[in-house]
Structure 1
Amino acid sequence: MTSETFLDQAAHVLRDRRATYGDPRQSMAAIAARWSITLGHPVTPAQVVLCMLDLKLARLGHDPRHVDSLRDVAGYAAVLCEVSR
């Protein structure tokens, strides 16, 4: 698979997730609010995305060829750009 094909697939996943879950800025803000309560200190939407990236990277440590996790890393990197604006 070429890198362009891989990124096209990641973009497709992002579009699907947006259709299912809505704007990622709102989704990450909602998760941040919940995690802030759970953890007892403020969590930002960007921190949520960074933690999700860490989760995917930890999984890739077990199997670095797992394509779904690789796509998720690309997707979360894109979401981080959007959330950080």
Structure 2
Amino acid sequence: MDDMHKQVVKERGKLYGHPKDSFGRCSAAWHVISECRDAEVRHALYMIWVKICRLVETPDHIDSIIDIAGYAETIKMIHSSRNNNPDNT
């Protein structure tokens, strides 16, 4: 692994903890989210869950909080586009 990648891993580790722990938290609810029949919404839910898992380690990480809101907005956009409502896309 080159120095740039090592630095990224180190910085992420400070924010989110060891990958084993972070990924373990994420996998705990993956099977529940996988029950969502809507593939696009399911993907957004996975992304929201990743951000929630990161907040467990660093609850004051504003970027993760903002990302959750953004992914929730994408779910709204998906539904709006399906309902031909261009105001919310």
TM-score range (shorter-chain normalised) is 0.3 to 0.5
Give TM-score, length-normalised by structure 2: 0.45
Instruction: Indicate the structure whose relative CO is greater, using CA pairs within 8 Å and at least 6 residues apart.
Output: 1
Looking at CA atoms only, which structure, 1 or 2, has the larger radius of gyration? 2
